[in-house]
């Protein structure tokens, strides 16, 4: 592993924490950090999140203590106390989340004790230690969810049958987070469940406060939110399952089955639902049949993305669309146990294909991995090359796509070249959206 | 002793007594009769902002054949995902080549914080040199190395001989200064210290007297035109056009300048700033070290400012008459073209927020177009702008609110509710507040757009005319979307949280 990361496809723990709090209903983040942190995160979203920045209180509106050298020398606790007090006067929030940056964590401000002073006065406030050097945006999300579970979610409530929470989709880092959460909610509602997804229009702070009444937490990721689910289990006794991001019918079928098994639902009924959904899905595809076949739209593919997208898109391409994912590049920094889990998950494709899976954080190295799969031959007459090919990745992968002459679709952060509002790729409908976008990229010049 | 003898440039709070905290009026600031702009102005409530790292990176990311190596935590520099759009389009309009900015992060972890990051940085530089073979590697320091005490200059000196690329340290530790404009000093400091030597191979082996004469003549007609990262190609072309009309060649520097050709900035007859806030540090250095005189006065935004800017340059070359003729013709043509828009602007109220010089020069432009200025927010204040405040007092003949703030949208929201402008001009990520209040907005920095010179006046007018013709998006948005402030806040003094040492902080 090299001593740098090339063009990291995430911000820091503070960045993920700020974006996550931006996405919670009626919640105000308070940064205890150096002055530029908020701006850096706002610019990151501006350039990487399909044109979505902030929300109710995001971007440069977030309160921040903006610590300077004076605080570095004398400590920043007093400044934070003043900042929180005045934030309560100025900002209209129902919940406040204090998160820390590198500077205030290195100098060791006792943020917890300052925040607890306000908590004792009955203020809805929580805190998470999110110094940038602790990890990336995805980890920042996990830290905020852990803090919510420990400090905000009401303990000791009774479990209600048929209620679930959804974890594992990181707002803004998953650029399609809103549509994806809606898609998952609608899948779960087909099973007759009541769903808390934390971040959509249909979620509320009261629902989040009460969310320990769920009988199950569903983490739609092999990595993101898993630690938070652990905290829910420890503090609130909520069991959890981890399932891949369900994009398209194959993954959605599996998602429904796994959830139904975990909740001991009537499996026959679930199979009936799955059958109906597939019928509907393929009835939508029916008019595509001729062009799809006549235009020879099957493709080899390189899939590049974060943990959730790399695995989920690969499964969709392989097991629903019938494409040939050859190389899967997972761009996160991961521990070995996480890598093993992902390797195991992606080895299990219904198509029987065995794409090469690599863990690579450096964008310009991806071509090396692809070249390794397609060694140069002496003549170029009969060549089994990566053609017709397609690159599904982020906007950083345009240069790769261009260099191999393949069309390209941006789905994983950073998404600089698309505008995203409520489009989502989860569920059966999400699969249809993804087919539209993939095929549009191929036929755009037609 | 030059500032450039030191490893780091001084912060602007110290060098220029710059500040970011004032709430008052135009006349109040011009006269400084109240307790304004304290050196250490503070707020008891603050919102997030940018730090010098962002404008610093905006400049450095643009340099071709350069790798940015960010020494810091993993998030520092992720703003590049936004800046990359400018790098791509900027490369395309200049060289017909779309290329992403290449930047790396040492991604300092918890264990690096404890054990120090110098070894990691050293290895990263060597690996980057080997892998990408760039002309230059700019090592940019974020907050963490600044706190844990990594000596990035020491590392650079230690390993320069082991790598082919020229390594340039740039100090952007965000907690060290409140004034973003220190970023320009930080970047110029690095360039000035490391990149201005003419390479031996570019000098002729045997002198040719005729060639030398020609070269000297060329130099006597070449001016350094200093661009800023917010200045797009359209603006560069406009200023090159105007200078070209006076028979001058331009050497545009430093944004999008090739590192291997930067030494050329030492071989001009004159350096011309387009933004005094941006350039004073470097221009003084060029004069001191290379004897190149400079002009650092007006920002060529607005008709009158562009006239003044041209006159200053022309006076240096003794071309006053030509300049007057140029100005007369340009202004005549421009005024005729503007005529169709002006009725739509007459009496429309406008609020403008930007970097100090940009805000004031644009305010002058808006006044020229017939708008009524109702407020200005400048990101900081220093003495360079005093003459600009005077200009505005003289031209508008009225007083209005001035807010010195590094954004702080809560003060802005409060002011906008009171002032009710028809149109608001703000920075990237700085128009949301006004938009949610239903006000028509226009972005004041967008490097794809034209803002500068006569052409800039026309294009800005054209865009404002378009935006005022249909502000329905913001208006409808405001019915259903609210700002995150308590109702009481709008009743409060907008400058309530400004703390003044030893006196009134606001009027």
- Can you spell out the DSSP letters for A375-405? ---S-SSS---S-SEEEEE-GGGHHHHHHTT
Query: For residue range A49-74, what is the model confidence (pLDDT) as tens digits?
Result: 999 998 899 999 999 999 999 999 99
User: How far is it, in rounded angstroms, from Cα A443 to Cα B20?
Assistant: 52
Band of pLDDT at residue B203, cut at 50, 70 and 90: confident
Is B51 close to A40, i.e. CB distance below 8 A?
yes
Return the pLDDT at B200: 83
Contacts of A135 in chain B (CB under 8 A): 74
Minimal CA separation from B417 to chain A, in Å: 15
Contacts of A69 in chain B (CB under 8 A): 175-176
Query: For residue range A171-198, what is the model confidence (pLDDT) as tens digits?
Result: 999 999 999 999 999 999 999 999 999 9
Average pLDDT in the A333-339 region? 95
Query: For residue range A82-116, what is the model confidence (pLDDT) as tens digits?
Result: 999 999 999 999 999 999 999 999 999 999 999 99
Return the pLDDT at B47: 97
Query: For residue range B351-366, what is the model confidence (pLDDT) as tens digits?
Result: 999 999 999 999 999 9
Is A39 close to B79, i.e. CB distance below 8 A?
yes
Minimal CA separation from A121 to chain B, in Å: 19
Contacts of B417 in chain A (CB under 8 A): none
The first and second tokens of residue B217, run together, are 């003549």
Contacts of A15 in chain B (CB under 8 A): 75, 78
Other beta carbons within 10 angstroms of residue A241's beta carbon come to 17
Is A43 close to B54, i.e. CB distance below 8 A?
yes
- In this complex, which of A7, A40, A63 lies closest to B76 when CB atoms are compared? A40
Window from A382-396, B17-31, B421-435 with minimum mean pLDDT: B17-31
Is B83 close to A87, i.e. CB distance below 8 A?
no
A39 in Cβ contact with A60 (< 8 Å):
yes
Query: For residue range B312-343, what is the model confidence (pLDDT) as tens digits?
Result: 999 999 999 999 999 999 999 999 999 999 99
Give the CA-trace dihedral at A419, A424, A429, A434, to 10 degrees: 60
Give which of B47, B53, B125, B405 to mutate to test A binding, by max A Cβ within 10 Å: B47
- In this complex, which of A11, A46, A132 lies closest to B428 when CB atoms are compared? A46
Is A28 close to B106, i.e. CB distance below 8 A?
no
Query: For residue range B247-294, what is the model confidence (pLDDT) as tens digits?
Result: 999 999 999 999 989 999 999 999 999 999 999 999 999 999 999 999
Minimal CA separation from A139 to chain B, in Å: 12
Termini Cα distance of chain B: 41
B482 in Cβ contact with B436 (< 8 Å):
yes
Q: Is the pLDDT of residue B504 over 50?
A: no
Report the candidate in B368, B415, B419 with the shortest Cα–Cα distance to residue B396: B368
Give which of A1, A3, A29, A31 to mutate to test B binding, by max B Cβ within 10 Å: A3
Band of pLDDT at residue A404, cut at 50, 70 and 90: very high
Termini Cα distance of chain A: 43
Neighbouring-strand partners of residue B426:
B443
Average pLDDT in the A231-245 region? 98
* ipTM of the shown complex: 0.95
User: How far is it, in rounded angstroms, from Cα A31 to Cα A54?
Assistant: 14
Return the pLDDT at B245: 97
Neighbouring-strand partners of residue A29:
A97
User: How far is it, in rounded angstroms, from Cα B411 to Cα B403?
Assistant: 8
Band of pLDDT at residue A384, cut at 50, 70 and 90: confident
Phi, psi of A325 (to 5 degrees): -65, 120
Give the CA-trace dihedral at A201, A204, A210, A216, to 10 degrees: 10
Band of pLDDT at residue A1, cut at 50, 70 and 90: low
User: How far is it, in rounded angstroms, from Cα B355 to Cα B412?
Assistant: 15
Q: Is the pLDDT of residue A399 over 70?
A: yes
- In this complex, which of B49, B107, B432 lies closest to A4 when CB atoms are compared? B107
Q: Exposed/middle/buried for A139, CB within 10 Å: 0-12, 13-18, 19+?
A: buried
Contacts of B72 in chain A (CB under 8 A): 102, 132
Report the candidate in A411, A377, A376, A373 with the shortest Cα–Cα distance to residue A389: A373
The answer to whether B401 contacts chain A (CB < 8 Å) is no
- In this complex, which of B48, B109, B147 lies closest to A37 when CB atoms are compared? B48
Is A3 close to B486, i.e. CB distance below 8 A?
no
Return the pLDDT at B501: 53
B70 three-class SS = strand
**pTM for this model (two decimals):** 0.96
The answer to whether B428 contacts chain A (CB < 8 Å) is yes
B172 in Cβ contact with B72 (< 8 Å):
no
Is B107 close to A8, i.e. CB distance below 8 A?
yes
Return the pLDDT at A128: 98
Is B147 close to A39, i.e. CB distance below 8 A?
no
The answer to whether B358 contacts chain A (CB < 8 Å) is no
B47 three-class SS = strand
> How many beta-carbon contacts under 8 Å exist across A and B?
255
Which chain B residue has its CA at the smallest distance from A395's CA?
A: B81
Minimal CA separation from B335 to chain A, in Å: 37
């Amino acid at each position: 592993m090299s001593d740098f990361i090339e063009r990291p496809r995430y911000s820091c723990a503070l960045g993920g924490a700020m974006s996550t709090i931006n996405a919670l209903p009626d919640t105000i983040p308070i940064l205890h950090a150096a002055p530029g942190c908020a701006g850096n995160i706002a610019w990151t979203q501006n350039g990487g999140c399909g044109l979505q920045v902030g929300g109710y209180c995001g971007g440069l509106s977030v309160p921040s203590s903006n610590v300077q050298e004076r605080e570095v020398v004398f400590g920043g606790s007093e400044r934070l106390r003043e900042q929180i007090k005045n934030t309560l006067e100025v900002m209209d929030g129902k919940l406040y989340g204090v998160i820390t940056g590198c500077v205030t964590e290195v100098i060791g401000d006792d943020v917890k004790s300052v925040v607890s002073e306000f908590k004792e006065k009955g203020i809805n406030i929580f805190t998470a230690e999110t110094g940038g050097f602790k990890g990336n945006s995805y980890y920042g999300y996990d830290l905020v969810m852990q803090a919510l579970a420990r400090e905000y979610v009401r303990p000791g409530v009774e479990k209600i049958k048929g209620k679930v929470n959804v974890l594992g989709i990181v707002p803004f880092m998953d650029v399609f987070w809103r549509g994806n959460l809606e898609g998952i909610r609608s899948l779960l509602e087909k099973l007759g469940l009541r769903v808390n997804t934390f971040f959509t229009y249909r979620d509320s702070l009261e629902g989040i406060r009460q969310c320990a009444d769920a009988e199950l937490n569903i983490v739609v990721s092999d990595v993101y939110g898993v630690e938070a689910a652990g905290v829910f289990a420890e503090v609130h006794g909520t069991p959890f399952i981890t399932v891949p991001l369900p994009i398209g019918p194959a993954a959605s079928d599996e998602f429904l089955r796994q959830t139904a098994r975990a909740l001991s639902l009537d499996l026959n009924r679930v199979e009936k639902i799955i059958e109906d959904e597939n019928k509907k899905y393929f009835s939508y595809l029916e008019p595509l049949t001729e062009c799809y076949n006549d235009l020879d739209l099957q493709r080899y593919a390189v899939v590049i993305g974060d943990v959730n997208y790399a695995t989920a898109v690969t499964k969709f391409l392989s097991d629903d669309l019938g494409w040939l994912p050859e190389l899967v590049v997972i761009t996160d920094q991961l521990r070995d146990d996480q890598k093993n889990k992902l390797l195991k998950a992606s080895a299990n494709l219904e198509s029987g294909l065995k794409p090469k899976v690599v863990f690579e954080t450096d964008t310009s190295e991806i071509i090396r991995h692809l070249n390794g799969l397609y060694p140069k031959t002496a003549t170029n007459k009969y060549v089994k090359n990566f053609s017709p090919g397609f690159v599904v990745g982020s906007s950083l992968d345009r240069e790769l796509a261009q260099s191999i002459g393949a069309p390209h679709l941006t789905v994983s952060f950073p998404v600089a070249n698309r505008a995203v509002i409520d489009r989502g790729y989860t569920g059966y409908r999400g699969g249809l959206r993804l087919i539209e976008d993939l095929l549009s990229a191929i036929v755009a010049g037609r | 002793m030059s500032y450039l003898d030191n490893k780091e440039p001084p912060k602007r709070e110290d060098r220029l007594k710059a500040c970011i905290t004032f709430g008052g009026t135009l006349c109040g600031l011009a006269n400084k009769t109240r307790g304004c702009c304290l050196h250490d102005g503070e707020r008891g409530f603050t919102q997030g902002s940018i730090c010098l790292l962002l404008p610093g990176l905006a400049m450095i990311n643009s340099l071709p054949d350069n790798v940015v190596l960010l020494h810091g935590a993993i998030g520092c520099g992720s703003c590049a995902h936004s800046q990359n759009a400018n790098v791509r389009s900027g490369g395309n309009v200049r060289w017909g080549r779309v290329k992403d900015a290449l930047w790396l992060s040492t991604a300092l972890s918890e264990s690096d914080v404890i054990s120090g990051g110098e070894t990691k940085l050293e290895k990263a530089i060597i690996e980057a040199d080997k892998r990408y073979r760039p002309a230059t590697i700019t090592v940019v320091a974020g907050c963490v190395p600044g706190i844990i005490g990594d000596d990035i200059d020491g590392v650079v000196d230690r390993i320069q001989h082991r790598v082919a690329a020229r390594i340039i340290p740039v100090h952007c530790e965000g907690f060290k200064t409140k004034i973003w404009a220190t970023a320009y000093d930080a970047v110029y400091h690095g360039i000035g210290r490391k990149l201005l030597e003419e390479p031996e191979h570019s000098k002729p082996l045997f002198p040719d007297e005729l060639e030398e004469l020609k070269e000297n003549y060329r130099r006597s007609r070449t001016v350094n035109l200093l661009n800023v990262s917010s200045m797009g190609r359209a603006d560069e072309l406009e200023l090159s056009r105007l200078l070209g009309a006076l028979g001058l060649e331009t050497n545009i520097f430093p944004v999008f300048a090739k590192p291997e050709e930067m030494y050329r900035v030492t071989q001009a007859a004159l350096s011309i700033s387009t933004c005094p806030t941006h350039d004073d540090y470097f221009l003084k250095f060029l004069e001191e070290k290379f004897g190149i005189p400079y002009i650092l006065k007006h920002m060529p935004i607005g008709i009158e400012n562009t006239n003044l800017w041209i006159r200053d340059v022309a006076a240096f070359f003794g071309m006053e008459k030509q300049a007057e003729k140029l100005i007369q013709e340009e202004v005549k043509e421009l005024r005729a073209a503007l005529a169709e828009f002006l009725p739509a602007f007459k009496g429309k109220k406008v609020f403008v927020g930007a970097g100090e010089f940009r805000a004031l020069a644009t305010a002058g432009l808006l006044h020229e177009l017939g708008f009524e200025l109702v407020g200005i927010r400048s990101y900081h204040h220093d003495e360079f702008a005093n003459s600009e405040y005077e200009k505005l007092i003289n031209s508008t003949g009225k007083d209005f609110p001035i807010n010195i703030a590094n954004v702080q949208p809560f003060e802005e929201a409060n002011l906008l509710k009171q002032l009710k402008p028809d149109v608001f001009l703000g920075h990237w990520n700085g128009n949301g507040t006004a938009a949610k209040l239903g006000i028509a907005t226009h972005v004041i920095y967008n490097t794809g757009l034209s803002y500068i010179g006569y052409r800039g006046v026309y294009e800005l007018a054209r865009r404002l005319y378009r935006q005022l013709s249909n502000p329905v998006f913001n208006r409808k948005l405001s019915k259903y979307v609210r700002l995150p402030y308590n109702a009481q806040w709008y009743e409060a003094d907008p400058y309530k949280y400004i703390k003044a040492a030893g006196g009134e902080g606001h009027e």
